[in-house]
Amino acid sequence: MRASLIQIEVDPDESVESRRVRAGSLVREQRGSDLVVLPELWPVGAFAFESFGTEAEPLEGPTFEAMSAAALDAGVWLHAGSIVERDPDGPLYNTSLIFSPDGELARTYRKIHRFGFDKGEAVLMSAGDELVTLTLPETKVGVATCYDLRFPELFRALVDAGAQTLVIPAGWPARRRAHWSLLARARAVENQTYVLACGTAGTHAGVEQAGYSVVVDPWGEVLAEAGAAEEVLTVDLDMARVAKTREEFPALKDRVLGR
Ligand SMILES: O=C([O-])CC(=O)C(=O)O
């Protein structure tokens, strides 16, 4: 399975509309990949809290339209990262959109763990409460978003639901890049899954983004890692490695708690 992670730059001097067009072109360039991933809140920026209200979109808004068309044109499964979704009843959610190669919406995922403690996303957004997996031709995917990465119980629940590949769009800040890289590998090792973790590049709202998107195999080896700037990572994944790793080193079978 070929996967491409688009570590797009979120530049506050670029309009959201221009970035949407650019993201669409970047997705179309990945024709030949099976799965393409964009990061968290790339239209507006994960730390641009003051724009969340003004840039919020209905689920089937402009980002949905642009990404559905791009998935169809490229003929790829597209995890289009997340948008600020305005629910018809009013609340905002950090909602991921996943499209099939025919441009149809296959899944949505509302971020469960909201970042910011007593400010930012934690107060502006509502929390999702649903685990999301998706069966692709080659693998079963479990999804999570950014701060979710710090909560191993979510990933264990996704693995119990059959996930073999964890896809994690993020807008992780550079200040905590060491945590990002460590946690992405930890999630792969402890769950014996592939991890595709796709962050943003650039600086917005005064927050430098980490970049360093990474693809980790089920043994915890880093297969590909981006730098800090905008970049597309393309990796070929041998999906048999998940079952093989779990057979050869069956630690998941030795769980005592939480089964
Ligand atoms: O922004 C987020 O969701 C995550 C984040 O900064 C962190 O966990 O350090």
| Mean pLDDT value of segment 122-137 | 98
CA 40–ligand 1 middle distance (angstroms): 11
Return the percentage of the chain with pLDDT > 90, whole number: 98
Does residue 31's CB lie within 6 angstroms of at least one atom of ligand 1?
A: no
Give the other-Cβ count within 10 Å of 98's Cβ.
25
Give the pLDDT confidence of 144-202 residue by residue, as tens digits: 999 999 999 999 999 999 999 999 999 999 999 999 999 999 999 999 999 999 999 99
Q: Whose alpha carbon is nearest atom 7 of ligand 1?
A: 147
What's the whole-number mean pLDDT along residues 130-135? 98
Which whole number is the average pLDDT over 44-66? 97
- Write the residue with the smallest CA distance to atom 4 of ligand 1: 147
CB of 184 closer than 6 angstroms to any ligand 1 atom: no
Place of tokens 């530049």: 11
CA angle 11, 39, 183 (to 5 degrees): 115
The reply to whether ligand 1 has any atom less than 6 angstroms from the CB of 46 is yes
Ligand 1 touching residue 47 (CB < 6 A) = no
**The pLDDT of residue 128:** 98
Enumerate the active-site residues.
40, 111, 146
Q: Which helix (H) or strand (E) holds 188?
A: helix 177-191
Q: Per the structure, how many domains does the chain have?
A: 1
CB neighbours of residue 95 within 10 Å: 23
- Domain assignment present for residue 119? The answer is yes
Q: For residues 101 and 71, is the Cβ–Cβ distance under 8 A?
A: yes
pLDDT at position 85 over 90:
yes
Q: How far apart are CA 259 and CA 40, in angstroms?
A: 31
Across 113-127, 134-148, 245-259, least confident range: 245-259
- C-beta neighbour count of 229 within 10 angstroms: 10
pLDDT at position 258: 77
CATH number at residue 107: 3.60.110.10
Nearest alpha carbon to residue 77 among 62, 97, 52:
97
ipTM over 0.85: yes
Mutate to test the pocket of ligand 1, among 146, 150, 183, 200 (most ligand atoms within 8 A of CB): 146
- Between helix 177-191 and helix 152-160 the angle, nearest 10°, is 30
| Residue 142, CB-side half-sphere exposure with 13 Å CA sphere | 26
Residue 40 CA: nearest ligand 1 atom is: 3
231, 212 contact by CB (below 8 A): no
| Angle subtended at Cα 236 by Cα 233 and Cα 237, rounded to the nearest 5 degrees | 115
Q: How far is the CA of 98 from the centre of ligand 1 (A)?
A: 22
Domain assignment of residue 236, given as a range: 2-254
- Share the mean pLDDT of the chain: 97
Per-residue pLDDT reduced to its tens digit, 16-30: 999 999 999 999 999
Q: Is residue 259 part of a domain?
A: no
pLDDT per residue as tens digits for the range 57-78? 999 999 999 999 999 999 999 9
Alpha carbon separation from 34 to 75, 77, 253 (Å, rounded): 8, 6, 30
**Position 143 confidence tier, pLDDT thresholds 50, 70, 90:** very high
- Asked if residues 6 and 108 have their Cβ atoms less than 8 Å apart, the reply is no
Phi, psi of 206 (to 5 degrees): 75, 10
Ligand 1, atom nearest to 173 Cα: 6
Q: Is the pLDDT of residue 259 over 90?
A: no
Q: Is residue 75 part of a domain?
A: yes
The pLDDT value given to residue 129 = 98
Atom 9 of ligand 1: nearest residue by CA position: 176
